[in-house]
Structure 1
Amino acid sequence: MQHRDYDLASLEVFVAVAELGSMTRAAARLGLTQSAVSHVVRQLETAFAAQLLDRTIRPLALTAAGQRLWHWSNRILIDARQLPAVIGGADASFMPELRIGCIDTLAAPFIPRLLQGLRDRVPSFTIASGLCGQLREQFLARRLDVLFTNDSFDDLDQVESQRLLTEPFVLLLPRNADEVTDEAGLRALSRTVPLIRSTTDSALGKLVDQHLRRLGMEVPRSFAFDATDTVMAMVAEEMGWSLLPPTALVKSRQHLSHIRVLPLPTPGFRRSIHVVTRKGELGSLPADIHKAGRTVIRRGYFTEVLAASPWMAPMITR
């Protein structure tokens, strides 16, 4: 048997017969002739190779096969009636699978906590983490539905961007390094100790390079890594210094006890992280995702980082 052997209309006819116990009454409800209803039922019996009704009694009764078809037909018809709303109407926020992209510095532990708040809304998730540019390409190719990224996509009209948080860049030094309190100290540090960088193809690496150029600082290139875990491990091993935002510190918090975290003596160097979706495609889901993300950030996300560096708290806007 193939699906074309029956359709929604024939299932609707069968459900009416089953509920009313009469082909005549079913015909009246559906605006059909009694013979048309009888023909549909016989077609179904042929398609399923099973007797569906016991015609020897009145009102008509369902056989065991008829009971099974009545049960599944009801489920199918209920789902079918919901399709217009689910596809483009009031319930368009439903997604059978949500594909989320997240920049590497935020991915853990943010994504696991986020999914706890969304799992009642979405049955299945696919998660991609990586560099900002790579995630942008996947989003534009429609391989991702939602992004958590420091790219606001303000160059595109059909994209909706909601700010999740704004955070400063901070100065990371080996635990026993001397304190740096002003720009002169930062310049002296850059001349004597290697800068542990993020790679220049990453958004973090580009932001840091741009900030150093604004200060007129040309820092020699010694080490560059695409993972902030490795950047912080290098600082912890006294291989150099670095500039990173607090979310990166949360992700690699196992290194915090071996690192000195200080305010950057050149203020105003910050980045924002946004929730990015396509306009009008996910109904109310983008607002729910944004709200769930804000809840994760507000419920102790930076607790360990702020316990060691309480001065950072007013610099993070959520």
Structure 2
Amino acid sequence: MKQISVIVPVYNEELSIETFFNAFLKFTETLVKTEYTASVLFVDDGSKDKTAAILNKLIKENVNCKALVFSRNFGKEAALFAGLEHAVGDLMIPMDVDLQDPFELIFEMIKAHETGADVVLARRANRGTDTVVKRFSAQWFYRLNNKMSTLKLEENVGDFRLMTRQVVNEIVSLQENQLFMKGLMSWVGFETVVVDYTRPSRKEGKTKFNYIKLWNLAVQGITSFSTLPLKVWTYFGSVIAFISFLYGLKIIIEKLFFGINASGYASLMVAILFFGGVQLIGIGVLGEYLGRTYLESKRRPRYIIKHKLIKKVNNV
């Protein structure tokens, strides 16, 4: 029997966990006549509500349910990485607890795997359930990232995917602790296919991602796999310096040969403010890379597990 490990990061999801687990139990019932079994590994990312208590109750009643509880909130990327590190089985499938990743699609993903795929991506056919701002920002991110980085991300694909044990082993062997999991899971390569699906609306609870967190994640993704933002300022600065040289030469010629006075206060202030702003933006981009290098150099752990919730099992 091949084992499927469903990995579910959660943070303050007391309203969603039991609904998700009931759907998972129905999914396992449909696996009875196949050569697959399934278990679920929850990763509690330092929840402040009753999430840990609910998980403890479920685990006491179900041997195919386990959980890791973090000492504090380390973020979804760290929670997903921890799930991949501690899950056991032949196939790994990260999922969201809100049931917007449908269990029914897993059967199609398994079929794709059985035809030779090491990674099966679940791609949203449309983003009709998102707001206009979120649709636009997602489209902007994928296009910008794919133009700037040598690593191409499949558009409208989240963490929901099927991966073999070999793929997961390669991912967890990576040493970086500033994590952008979509990038890492794509960077390792392997034979990859895509299946399309229509994402349903969220069943319970509210999303914990706001636009600030999404922006930070996008910056993390671009700076993790591309150095183009650093190179741009070299080219931009060279062009500005060349234009400035030509303009300065023009002023000198006009002054020496034609006696024309140089432009006054207004043009000088515009130039100073413009170049000052450009320099600050360049320093900011440099600071993003330097800050991430600084954090990497500390070699702090990606997460800390407070305790593991298991039933009659010694190891997760």
**TM-score by structure 2 length?**
0.21
Point out which structure has higher relative CO (alpha carbons under 8 A, 6+ apart): 2
Looking at CA atoms only, which structure, 1 or 2, has the larger radius of gyration? 1
